[in-house]
Amino acid sequence: MSLRLSSEQVKAEARALGFFACGIAKAGPVATDVAAGFTAWLSAGGHAGMDYMARNVDKRLDPRQIMPGVKSIVSVALNYAPARRMPDGELQFSAYALGRDYHDVVKSRLHALASRLGLTAYRAFCDTAPVLERYWAVQAGLGWVGRNRQLVIPRAGSMFFLGALFLDVELAYDSPVTPRCGTCRACLDACPTGALAVGAPFCAGKCLSYQTIENRGDIPSDIAACMGDTVYGCDRCLDACPWNRFATPTDDPQLQPNEELLRMTRADWLGLTVEQYRRLFKGSAVKRAKYEGLMRNIDCVIKNHELRVKKISPP
């Protein structure tokens, strides 16, 4: 089959399906230093309450444990840079969550890619299995992992969903690119909670994205005080990254926010019912936080706003 399937054909079909970038890496165990760093991060509790990160570590570190016989890993990137955001002064959501659930969008296109290539023996993944997708994107030459722990694509930035297609055929492989962050520390300085630090592992427990999405308990008051107007996720490190000045807003219909979401006001959010939540976020990644989590986040932001108003009001 490898004689009938070329890397050029794979990449051409990926572009035709709307993927911004596509690269191919030779499947095999994750590099020893990366594997050691990942297991050390887990041992130190860097993953906070994301217990699923500590499961199936053997599979994360060797894709052959997921798909026996895998020879090639096709990495793709789908641009989600927003063309429209929530209005200034209203409650905000991380840009990646404004459109349809990226898990569904990327996986459906990966299945379409496999179909176009005439493949039947494959596995498709998008943040839905123990796969180190950023690692494989680096190996496939898409970009490098920046200091904000996000994949940076040269002259394109970091606002991309990543996906991986495991194939049992050998192809021509791409090579990693040289990291180009230089001495820049814009993302580190922009992180309001210190989740990012030079020479230190990423601390998920301090990350606003973790706290507003994954954490099911109360948000620590010192971290809640850093939320600003954002009630789901955090884009501070992305907005600060100089590479994202090259980002081109997506025109993908599936990744556009719906009009009802854009019209929501603070008063609307405070009165949000379970039924409205289900309608508003049907097919959205925001469901990850659940209704109770989102209302917790809204309450934190509103209380922070009230405290700021009291501080600046004259006696």
Residue 87 CA to residue 139 CA, distance in Å, equals 38
Total number of residues shown for the chain? 315
| Cα 8 to Cα 69, 73, 154, 222, distances in angstroms | 22, 14, 20, 50
10 Å Cβ neighbour count for 102?
22
10 Å Cβ neighbour count for 314?
3
Residue 205 CA to residue 312 CA, distance in Å, equals 31
**Cβ–Cβ < 8 Å for 164, 125:** yes
Residue 192 CA to residue 183 CA, distance in Å, equals 20
Residue 167 CA to residue 121 CA, distance in Å, equals 7
* Active-site annotation holder among 104, 127, 229, 299: 127
Cα torsion through 219, 222, 195, 158, rounded to 10? 70
- Helices and strands (H, E) in the chain, number of each type: 13, 8
Tokens 């023996």 locate to 121
Closest CA to 253 of 99, 85, 96, 98: 99
Confirm whether 33 is a catalytic residue. no
Tokens 């051409």 locate to 12
Residue 282 CA to residue 250 CA, distance in Å, equals 21
Tokens standing for residue 313: 């009001």
Closest CA to 11 of 102, 111, 113, 109: 113
Q: Mutual orientation of helices 102-116 and 7-16 as an angle, nearest 10°?
A: 130
Report the catalytic residues: 127
